[in-house]
Copies of this chain bind each other. A is one copy, B any other.
Amino acid sequence: MAHQTGRDEQSLALKLWVVLSRAHTAVEEHARADIARHELTLAEFAILEVLFHRGPLLLGEVQRRILVSSGGITYLVDRLEKRELVERRECPEDRRARYAALTPAGEALIREIFPRHAEALERALAGLDADEKEQAVDLLRRLGRYAAEAARTASTGC
């Protein structure tokens, strides 16, 4: 048989899942600690960052980019709106939809903290050199794409 997926293949997959989880947890802790200094969660930072780099986006677009639930995006934008870092704007073409956009204060904040956050991440990821990072990016990109696609086709039933 061509694909004899035995116990060693399985244990290799399990090992990969474990080291993926641990690496993610360890790096996330750095990111979280850095961002917590500004009283932001990672999800809140991600919203500021995506609005900074892409400009105003519909709530649904933000939701898909940062991977939270529909309830979650409402909750998060509510919080950022209370702090006057983000504002909702009506969408002229579709009255169901709203844009999220940075306020001047939000833009000033993300402009200030984003470079320092990038530096903190660079330090956290300094265990690999540039070549190794590129290899890792390639492998993880394919891993993630495949897994996301597999989830999609499984739910739609083939």
Contacts and interface: CB of A to CB of B under 8 A. Distances in A.
Interface of A: 5, 9-17, 19-31, 33, 67, 118-119, 121-128, 130, 132-137, 139-148, 150-151
Nearest to A17: B121
A123 B16 CA distance: 13
Contact of A123 (B22, B148, B150): B150
Name A's interface SS.
helix
Contact of A118 (B14, B22, B125, B144): B14
B12 A134 contact: yes
Contact of A19 (B5, B15, B30, B144): B144
Contacts of A128: 16, 139, 142-143, 146
A143 B23 contact: yes
Given A26-B144, A128-B143, A150-B123, A133 B20 contact: no
A150 to B, nearest CB: 6
A136 B16 contact: yes
A67 B19 contact: no
A121 B151 CA distance: 12
Contacts of A29: 147, 151
